[in-house]
Amino acid sequence: MAGETRTYEETTAADLAALAEHVRERLGEAVIDATVTHGQLQIVADAARILDVLRFLRDDPACRFTCFTDLCGVDYPQREKRFEVVTHLLSPTLNLRVRVKAA
């Protein structure tokens, strides 16, 4: 994946799954879950380690998620832990987006 820019259509589910595995391997317990959902990588991170996860996604050569797109909060009143903070990032090099949830 590294070293080339490709269109969104050229990115396969296998590419996204490989990136999810890379993130899981490198960040260990900081990542609670990393899956491909609706054609997009979604990472659920330990809230106490969210900055480590976001820095890794920005700085790691295989990721390069350098564009901050969105930050929002979600309220789930039925849950014990009601609130989630969700960050969306873009990698212009990989032409991929990632959703990062702090849990």
- Domain edges within the chain: 8-102
Residue 28 has what pLDDT?
A: 95
Classified as helix, coil or strand, 102 is strand
Residue 80 has what pLDDT?
A: 92
Residue 103 has what pLDDT?
A: 85
Residue 12 has what pLDDT?
A: 76
* Sign of the C-alpha dihedral computed for residues 68, 73, 78 and 81 taken in this order: positive
The pTM score is 0.84
Residue 3 has what pLDDT?
A: 57
Return d(Cα 38, Cα 77) in angstroms, integer.
25
| Tokens 């990721």 -> residue | 63
Average pLDDT per 10 consecutive residues for the chain, totaling 103 residues: 58 84 96 91 96 98 96 94 94 92 92
The residues with which 85 forms a beta bridge, in sequence order, are: 73, 102
Domain 8-102 homologous superfamily, CATH: NADH:ubiquinone oxidoreductase Nqo5 subunit (3.30.460.80)
Residue by residue, DSSP assigns 37-82 as: ETTEEEEEE-GGGHHHHHHHHHH-TTT---EEEEEEEEE-TTSSS-
